[in-house]
Amino acid sequence: MATHLRTCPLCEAMCGLEIEVDGERVTRVRGDRADVWSQGFLCPKGASIGHLHHDPDRIRVPMVRDPGTDEWREVSWDEAFARCEELLRPVIAAHGMDAVTAYLGNPNVHSYSLSRFSGAVPGLAGMKVLWSAGTVDQWPKNLVCAQLFGGMWTFPIPDVANTDLFVVMGANPHASNGSLLAHPDLIGELDRIRERGGRTIVIAPPARARPSGPTSGCPSSPAPTPPSCCRWWRSSTKAGRVRGVDEVLAAARAFPPEVVAAWCGIDAERIRQLARELAATPRAVVYGRIGLCTQEFGTLATWLVSVVNILTGHFDAAGGERFPRPAIAALSSTARRRGPVTTGRWRTRVRGAPEVMGQAPLSCLAEEIDTPGDGQIKALITLAGNPVLSAPDAERLDAALPLLDAMISIDNYLNETTRHAHVILPGHSPLEQPHCDEEIWSYSLRAVARWSPAIFDPGDRPEEWEVLLRLGAILMGTPAAEVDVDALDDLWFDARAARHGIDPATVDHEGRRGPDRIVDLTVRTGPWGDRYGQQPDGLNLDRLKQHPHGIDFGPSHAALDDVLRTASGDIELAHDAFLDDLPRLRARMAEPRPPLVMIGRRHVRSNNSWMHNVPTLMKGRDRSTLLVHPDDAAERGIATGDQVRVTSEAGEVEATAEVSDELVRGVVSLPHGFGHGRPGTRTQVADQRPGPNANALIPGTAVDVPSGNAAVNGVPVEISRR
C-alpha cells in the first residue's frame, strides 16, 4: 500500500489529492489537507479519478477501422502511424493542406502533454483553419481581452478574497468552482464574504445549483442583456490609463434602466440600486462567465462586465478585477504590443463566416465537410474532443463525419465522435503521466506552483506529445518510419524558449524531453524562477519537486504596465466591433419575446461529455432532465417524469421532464454533453443513461456576431408531452 500526492487534472479547481494505491489498483482518494492550494477540498470528479484510470472501456492500444466497415482491430503503434500516412498522403496530394483540419477539445487544457503540444499538429502542418471548443464557450472573453488589454489570454480575475460585493452573472461556482477563475473552495469564499459583512448577488435565469451561503438574487432574461452602464466615472489610479470612456458613456445613454428593464426581467429601480451599490462599495466586482459568453450578445455582455468594473473604479484594485502574476510563466505573458484585433482576415468557404482570432464558428465545420467544391474538408484530426455532442447543429456534424476520406482521433474512448474515425491513437490516463498546470495558474490571484509525478507506469506506449509530433511530421510529408521525434522536440522547445527570452543554445536540459523541459522553462522564467542560473536562489523544476504539497508565494497581482499589450499601452475601452453591435441589440429588444427558450446547465459531477462513463459520477438521480417551471408545465399538461418532445428550428429531442420552481417562467433547461447510446460506441456506463443531446437543438447559424461564438442559451423551443 502506498500513498501518492497528486494534482487533480479534471477541471480548473486544481485540487490536491491523496491517492492510495495497492499494487496496480487505486483503493482510496481523498483531499490533501496539506496541499498549499486546496487544503483538503475535493469534489466528486477528483474522488473518482481512480475509476477513470481503471475504466475497462478506456482505449489502451491503437485501433484501426477497416475501410467500409464498422469493425475495429487493435494494431501496433508502427502500423497505426503507417495507416495515418496512408490515409493522409492521398488527401494532401489531391487537395492540398487546405483540405486538412483539426479540432481541439476541452481536455487538451488539462493534459500534461496535450496542453503543451496540441499546437504541434496544426503548427507543423501549416493548417489554415483550426476548430476548437473555444468558439462554443469562451470566444467573447478572448476577443474582449484582446481588444481592451492587448492579449486574448490576458484575463482579469475577480479578487473574491478581498471583495465586499461579489456580483455573479452567467456563472455557477457550485458546479464549476470557478471558470477562468481559479480559487480554492470558491463556495467557501462566498461564506467568508458574508462573515466580513459583504454580500454576493447572483443574476441568472435558473436557480439550480446556485452558490451556497449568503446570496441574493436578481432574475434575468433567458438571453442575458448587457448590464445598463452606470453613469459614474470614478477617478482612480487608472485615470489617464483608459481610452474610449466618452464613447462608451455616450453609447450607454441609449440604454437607461427603463429601456432594458422589461427585457432583463429586472425592475428599473433594482438596476439603479445595483449600480449605486457597485459605485458606492469601495471593494466590489462583477464577474461574468459562460452564461454571458454563450448567448447571441456574448461579446457585448462580456465587454460590459469589464466596462462596469473599470468605470466604477473596481479595476486593478483590491476587491475588484485584477491581473494575476502567476508563478509559472504562461506564453500569454510574453505577447508583444499590437493594435486592435482585426477579424475577418479570411472567411469560411460555405457560409462566409469571418475568422476571429484564427478560428471560425464550430457550427461551420459540418457544412465545410458535407458541401462539395474547392476547399472542401477531406481530412480531420480530433484531439481529445467529442464535437458530435458539443457542437451546435450536432446532428449535421454526426452525418457529415462519415464523408471524410481520413479521420484520425487522439482519444481514450470510442465515443460518439471517434466512432467515425479511421484510426484512434490513445493517450495515457491522468495517473500514467505527470501533471503541472500551466495556463490555469494565470486565472488565479495567488501565485502557486505544483508538480505531480506519474503514479502508474504506462509501459512502452508513446506519450501524447510524441504522438502529436509524429502526426505533425506525417502531415509535413515525412514518411512515418523516418520521423525524428527528438529533433522535432528540440525545435518545439527552442521556439518556446525564444518566446520566453531564453537563448536555447545556453540551456542545459539535464536529460529532460517533451513537456518536462517545457515545465522547467516556464517555472524558471516565472517571477520566482532562477532563469537558468541568473537568479541562483530561484525556482526550477528540481526544486519544485521537493515540495510535493506545492509552493504558495502568496497574493499575485501584476502591475498594469507588465500586462497591457495594446499599441497605446493603455486600456482601450471603445471598439467599433462592440459599439457597432448595439443596433443589433436594439433591434432584438424590439421584437416579441419567444414564449419559451432553452438554456443549458452544468453539474459538479460532469465535465462536458467526458465524465459520463464513470459509474460513481453517474449513479443516483437522472441529471439529464428537462427543467420546466410549474406554470409552463401546467399549461402543457406536463408532470415530473413525463417524456416530452423538445423542438427547435434545428431539430428535436426527447427528454424526461422535471418540474421545478428553480427557473423563471418561460425558460427550460437541458444540460450539455449528453446524447450517448449511439451505435458503434464503447461507453457502457454512459450508454445506460444516454440523455438528450441539447446541441441537436442549437441552430448552426445562431452565433454572437462579433466573436462567432455559439449562441447555445436563449434558444426558442417548444415542448409537448409525447
| Cα–Cα dist 363/530, whole Å | 45
Task: Report the C-alpha gap between 448 and 181 in whole angstroms.
Answer: 14
- Give me the pLDDT at residue 685, please: 95
Spell out the residues 6+ positions from residue 6 whose beta carbon is closer than 8 angstroms to its own: 16, 17, 18, 19, 49, 431, 435, 452, 455
Mean pLDDT calculated for residue range 459-485 = 97
Farthest CA pair distance, the chain: 73
Backbone angles phi, psi at 448, to 5 degrees: -130, 145
In angstroms, the CA 19 to CA 29 distance is: 5
CB atoms within 10 A of CB 30: 14
**Sorting pLDDT into bands at 50, 70 and 90, what band is 217?**
low
Report the percentage of the chain scoring pLDDT > 70: 94
Residue 602 cell numbers, joined: 452544468
The alpha carbon of residue 236 and the mean position of all alpha carbons in its chain are separated, in whole angstroms, by 33
Q: Helix axis angle, 139-149 relative to 298-311, nearest 10°?
A: 40
**Position 690 confidence tier, pLDDT thresholds 50, 70, 90:** very high
pLDDT at 206 > cutoff 80: no
pLDDT at site 328: 94
604 is written with which cell numbers?
Answer: 459538479
Partnered with residue 242 across adjacent β-strands are 571
Find the helix packing angle between 464-476 and 514-524, rounded to 10°: 100
Q: What is the CA radius of gyration of the chain?
A: 25
Report residue 554 as a C-alpha cell: 502568496
Q: Partners of 215 in the beta sheet?
A: 200
Nearest Cα residue to 641 out of 656, 624, 620, 626: 656
Give me the mean pLDDT over the 12-31 stretch. Answer: 96
Q: Is 499 exposed, middle or buried (0-12, 13-18, 19+ CB in 10 A)?
A: middle
Question: Given the DSSP bridges, would you call strands 652-659 and 551-555 parallel, antiparallel or unpaired?
Answer: unpaired
Quick count: other Cβ atoms within 10 Å of Cβ 257?
A: 18
pLDDT by residue (tens digit) across 364-384? Answer: 999 999 999 999 999 999 999
**Mean pLDDT, rounded, for 2-9:** 96
Cα 111 to Cα 433: distance, rounded to the nearest angstrom? 9
**pLDDT at residue 709 greater than cutoff 80:** yes
What does the alpha-carbon distance between residue 274 and residue 265 come to, in Å, rounded to a whole number? 14
Residue-level pLDDT at 331: 61
Span 644-666, mean pLDDT?
A: 95
In this model, does residue 177 exceed pLDDT 90?
no
Kind of pairing between the strands at 16-22 and 25-31: antiparallel
348/357 Cα distance (integer angstroms)? 14
Is the backbone of residue 40 left (phi > 0), alpha (psi -120 to 50) or beta? Answer: left
Task: Report residue 329's pLDDT band, with 50, 70 and 90 as the boundaries.
Answer: confident
pLDDT at residue 239, rounded to an integer:
59
Q: What is the pLDDT of residues 251-298, one digit of tens each?
A: 999 999 999 999 888 999 999 999 999 999 999 999 999 999 999 999
CB 414 within 8 A of CB 58: no
The whole-chain average pLDDT of the chain stands at 92
CA dist., res. 459 & res. 125, Å (int): 29
In three-state secondary structure terms, 657 is strand
Least confident of 171-180, 515-524, 688-697: 171-180
Residue 67 in this model has a pLDDT that exceeds 80: no
Do the strands 63-65 and 72-74 form a parallel or antiparallel pair, or are they unpaired? Answer: antiparallel
pLDDT digits (tens, 9 = 90+) for 229-259: 444 555 444 557 999 999 999 999 999 999 9
What is the rounded distance in angstroms from the CA atom of residue 45 to the CA atom of residue 170?
22
* Residue closest to 603 by CA, chosen among 587, 623, 619: 623
Cα–Cα distance between 112 and 9 in angstroms, integer? 9
pLDDT digits (tens, 9 = 90+) for 549-603: 999 999 989 999 999 999 999 999 999 999 999 999 999 999 999 999 999 988 8
State how far the Cα of 617 lies from the Cα of 609, in Å rounded to an integer. Answer: 12
Q: At 637, list the grid cell.
A: 399538461
Q: Are 600 and 672 in contact (CB under 8 A)?
A: yes
User: Greater confidence, 611 or 415?
Assistant: 415
Using DSSP's 3-state secondary structure scheme, residue 262 falls into: helix
Q: What pLDDT shows up at residue 247?
A: 96
> By C-alpha distance, which of 165, 252, 258, 265 is closest to 225?
265
Cell numbers standing for residue 201? 448577488
CA distance 509 to 517: 7
Q: What does the pLDDT look like over 496-555, one tens digit per residue?
A: 999 999 999 999 999 999 999 999 999 999 999 999 999 999 999 999 999 999 999 999
Q: Which residues contact 37 (CB under 8 A, 6 or more apart)?
A: 14, 15, 16, 184, 446, 448, 450, 550, 552
Nearest CA to 224 out of 329, 143, 151, 305 is that of: 305
Residue 677 CB contacts under 8 Å (≥ 6 apart), including other chains:
686, 687, 690
The pLDDT of residue 215? 43
Q: Are 367 and 700 in contact (CB under 8 A)?
A: yes
State the Cα angle at 509 between 504 and 512, rounded to 5°: 130
Q: Which residue has the higher pLDDT, 656 or 206?
A: 656
Question: For every residue of 664-707, which 3-state class applies, written as one string?
Answer: CCCEEECCCCCCCCCCCCCCHHHHHCCCCCHHHHCCCCCECCCC
pLDDT in tens, 129-174: 899 999 999 999 999 999 999 999 999 999 999 999 999 999 888 8
Q: Please give the backbone phi and psi of residue 359, each rounded to the nearest 5 degrees, phi first.
A: -130, 160
Return the bridge partners of 350, or none: none
Q: Would you say residue 226 has pLDDT above 90?
A: no
pLDDT of residue 105 exceeding 50, the answer is yes
Name the residue with cell 521525434: 485
DSSP state of 294: T
* Mean pLDDT (whole number) for 346-350: 96
Query: 658 and 679 in contact (C-beta within 8 Å)?
Result: no
When pLDDT is cut at 50, 70 and 90, the band that residue 609 belongs to is confident
pTM of the model as a whole: 0.95
Residue with cell 498522403: 89
Q: Is 559 helix (H, G, I), strand (E, B) or coil?
A: coil
* Residue 231, pLDDT score: 46
